[in-house]
Amino acid sequence: MFETLEDRPVDGILRLMQEYRDDPREVKIDLGVGVYKDATGLTPVMRAVKAAEHQLWETQDSKVYTGLTGDPAFADALIGLVLDGAVPREKIAAAATPGGTGAVRQAFELIRLARPDARVFVSDPTWPNHLSILSYLGMEMIPYRYFDEESRGVDFDGMIADIRKAKPGDVVLLHGCCHNPTGANLNMTEWQAVLDVLLETGAVPMIDIAYQGFGDGLEEDAAATRLVASSVPECLIAASCSKNFGIYRERTGLLMAISSNADARKRNQDTLAFLNRQNFSFPPDHGARLVTMILNDDALRADWMAELEEVRTSMLGLRQQLADELQRLSGSDRFGFLAQHRGMFSRLGTTPEKVAEMRRDSGIYMVADSRMNIAGLNAQTIPVLARAIIDAGI
């Protein structure tokens, strides 16, 4: 029967990972998949995660099922981290999911169940998995302008004009911080204007927050999510712990549904449980439990925050060094945007041909849309990348 299956395009980011591994050259630079790497190229297990795992190994006496929406203590802890009391807890339905991707998937399914004809407004560009999952679910998506190719910042006027076209029953998908793939973000004044449009149109915001703590700091990175979630009647938030806890493979995420009243919250909570049951029953627990232990223990939390802050500032340092080196080589400020961008990624803003040229000539692997993982750089490779960018005539 399976001969009827069609060929499926592989995810370009994951294909790039394999191509990098297969490249026999000694000097090569991996700026592909979005995982944090330290100066030696390793993605370490964070200290607080190790400590919590150790404690868990010693104290956990059962691995019996949790609940369909996971352990409520995890929901409480992550809601605290993301929203910090900005929204009353009794208005929030929540379900643990396999990673942030699982939260995104369940959010789309919740929207489709509620409104089969909902249109989802997505930034152009956005994380390719948003588009792929929406398309798989047969949901309509409407791109809104986001990246200004000239300044490499946000095309704010274009964005506002486009999301104004949303109607009640539509959803506007926003990146809470550290936009993937561009690295270009709204400031708080601009977020306020986006919120005004959401209130005017009656469209429901859905916020994907996968990099809290990677941009301007844990609180700063959540500020926009808190502003929006506390000001609209309904809002979906898909949060991932993959990056900020470094627990990628543990598949740890949470979907939050801010509901307009207690009845709606109950329906949302029951529907989230229903959706989890249809798709996988119980969500993974190991990563969620570690996150809960870390967030609820003063010492573990402080150590996690300190290490996350090192990760964040090291990426900021790399950004600045790259921007400085490019300024030196080009004699111009046209790469200053690299220091303004936030999070793991920056979109260089060049053609797939030039991306291929840098890969062929200098062993530099970035995604074809010219997205670079800044954490893939170090003091030795920054000059190599800067030289390649100038030699490619970018």
Binding to ligand PLP by CB under 6 A, coded x per residue (else -) over 17-36, reads -----------------x--
| Count of chain residues binding ligand PLP (CB under 6 A) | 15
- Window of 17-25, 95-103, 143-151, 357-365 that interacts with ligand PLP by CB under 6 A: 95-103
210 is catalytic: yes
User: Of ligand TYF, ligand PLP, none, which one does residue 343 interact with (CB within 5 to 8 Å by kind)?
Assistant: none
Read off φ and ψ for residue 212, nearest 5 degrees. Answer: -60, 125
Give the closest residue to 107 by CA, choosing from 87, 134, 80, 125. 134
**Which listed residue (118, 166, 243, 323) is catalytic?**
243
Q: Based on CB atoms, which residue is closest to ligand PLP, 224 or 326?
A: 224
Nearest in space to 222 (alpha carbons), one of 233, 237, 232, 234: 237
CB-CB neighbours of 38 under 10 Å: 13
* 253 is an interface residue for ligand PLP by CB under 6 A: yes
Residue 14 partner contact from ligand PLP, ligand TYF, none using kind-dependent CB cut-offs of 5 to 8 Å: ligand TYF
Q: Decide whether 288 or 388 has the Cβ nearer to ligand PLP.
A: 288
Report the interface residues with ligand TYF, using CB under 6 A. Answer: 11, 13-14, 33-34, 127, 129, 180
Contacted by 284, from ligand PLP, ligand TYF, none: CB < 5 to 8 Å by type: none
**Which string of x and - marks every residue 194-213 that binds ligand PLP (by CB under 6 A)?**
--------------x-x---
Q: Which of residues 216-245 bind ligand PLP (CB under 6 A)?
A: 240, 242-243
Q: Kindly write down the DSSP assignment for every residue of 76-87, as one continuous string.
A: HHHHHHHHTTSS
Quick one: 11 or 19, whose CB is closer to ligand TYF?
11
Q: Who contacts 60 (Cβ-Cβ below 8 Å, separation ≥6)? A: 289
| DSSP calls for 140-169 | EEEEEE-B-TTTSSB-HHHHHHHHTT--TT
Binding at 11: pick from ligand TYF, ligand PLP, none (beta carbon under 5-8 Å per type): ligand TYF
The DSSP code sequence of 271-338 is HHHHHHHHHTSSPP-HHHHHHHHHHHSHHHHHHHHHHHHHHHHHHHHHHHHHHHHHHHHHSSSTTTHH
Given the residues 30, 77, 127, 285, select the one marked as catalytic.
Answer: 127
Q: Among 220, 208, 219, which residue's Cα sits nearest to residue 176?
A: 208
| Cβ 127 to ligand PLP shortest distance, Å | 4
Minimum separation from the CB atom of position 225 to ligand TYF (A): 18
**Contacts within 8 Å (CB) and 24+ apart, 314-322:** 314/38, 314/39, 314/375, 315/36, 315/214, 315/343, 315/344, 315/374, 315/375, 318/374, 318/375, 318/377, 318/378, 318/382, 319/346, 319/374, 321/377, 321/379, 321/382, 322/374, 322/377, 322/382, 322/385, 322/386
Minimum gap (Å) between residue 373 Cβ and ligand TYF: 7
Lay out the sheet containing 253-258: strands in order across.
92-97, 253-258, 235-240, 204-209, 171-175, 119-124, 140-145
* Cβ closest to ligand PLP, residue 83 vs residue 238: 238
CB of 295 vs ligand PLP, minimal distance in Å:
17
Task: Give the binding range for ligand PLP (CB under 6 A) out of 39-47, 52-60, 96-104, 381-389.
Answer: 96-104
| The one among 66, 69, 106, 180 contacting ligand PLP by CB under 6 A | 180
Q: Looking at this protein, which amino acid is placed at residue 362? A: S
| Contact partner, 125, from ligand PLP, ligand TYF, none, Cβ < 5-8 Å per class | none
Between 244 and 268, whose beta carbon lies closer to ligand TYF?
244
Signed CA dihedral, 172, 174, 180, 183: sign only: positive
Number of H helices, E strands in the chain: 14, 11
Pick 10 or 299: Cβ nearer ligand TYF: 10
Please identify, using beta-carbon distances, which residue of 180 and 268 lies nearer to ligand TYF.
Answer: 180
Q: How many CB atoms lie within 10 A of CB 205?
A: 24
Q: Which of the residues 30, 148, 162, 208 is marked catalytic?
A: 208
* Residues identified as active-site: 127, 208, 210, 243
Interface residue list for ligand PLP (CB under 6 A): 34, 99-101, 104, 127, 175, 180, 208, 210, 240, 242-243, 248, 253
